[in-house]
Chains A and B, each alone.
Chain A
Amino acid sequence: GNSVTQMEGPVTLSEEAFLTINCTYTATGYPSLFWYVQYPGEGLQLLLKATKADDKGSNKGFEATYRKETTSFHLEKGSVQVSDSAVYFCALREYGNKLVFGAGTILRVKS
């Protein structure tokens, strides 16, 4: 079946550091890809998405590019802030609309 693998955390960075969280997927066909974020004490929120190969999703300074050739959707941000501390989930959407999530990556940003 379809699956998503993302890098294990926690990832600990200093403020203004560059962030990369790796995500790769296994799927039949060409699923839509997503990054969701879960801030402490809050529910899952959509951060960004890409629906086809070479699409770049972006939001709040975060970016991810749908790479069909490497089946990847890595999350990047040029300069992280303390407020970015959260759990980040990579996900794909299967036919029928259900989401398949990775295990999540904890990001901790120190001031």
Chain B
Amino acid sequence: GAGVSQSPRYKVAKRGQDVALRCDPISGHVSLFWYQQALGQGPEFLTYFQNEAQLDKSGLPSDRFFAERPEGSVSTLKIQRTQQEDSAVYLCASSFAGTSPNEQFFGPGTRLTVL
């Protein structure tokens, strides 16, 4: 594809529901990142994959958040038992190589609203 895609673009969940957010990175991109952007704030790092390996998950706010990238391409961010404070835009980014810094290309984000 031409860029990073994310689905769904919008998700409304009732408090306590589980949600799954999908990211399709640019083909061939080794690194994949998830960020959380609260309203009126800058994105905050959640987790980072190099191929299928999750190298850094230091930004995940609680054990309710889980991310995977089993085949080194598509990634899913899962949030269990959603809370109102989980309402945010979830951004996915990918970059070409993991061993040297490269530009991160961002997807349009998934806006999650927890009622």
Binding site for B on A (CB under 8 A): 4, 32, 36, 42-46, 49, 51, 89, 91, 93, 96-104
Contacts and interface: CB of A to CB of B under 8 A. Distances in A.
Instruction: Pick the 8 closest A-B CB pairs, nearest first.
Output: A101-B42, A44-B106, A98-B45, A43-B108, A43-B106, A101-B43, A103-B42, A104-B42
A99 B40 contact: no
A96 B42 contact: no
Looking at chain A's contact residues, the main secondary structure is strand
Given A97-B98, A103-B40, A46 B103 contact: yes
A102 B42 contact: yes
Interface residues of B, number: 25
B90 interface: no
A102 B42 CA distance: 6
Contacts of B107: 43
B42 A91 contact: yes
Interface of B: 4, 31, 33, 35, 40-45, 48, 55-56, 59, 91, 93, 95, 98, 101, 103-104, 106-109
Contact of B42 (A42, A45, A46, A89): A89
Given A43-B108, A44-B91, A100 B103 contact: no
A24 B56 CA distance: 26
Contacts of A96: 48, 55-56
A70 B27 CA distance: 39
A49 B103 CA distance: 9
A18 B93 CA distance: 32
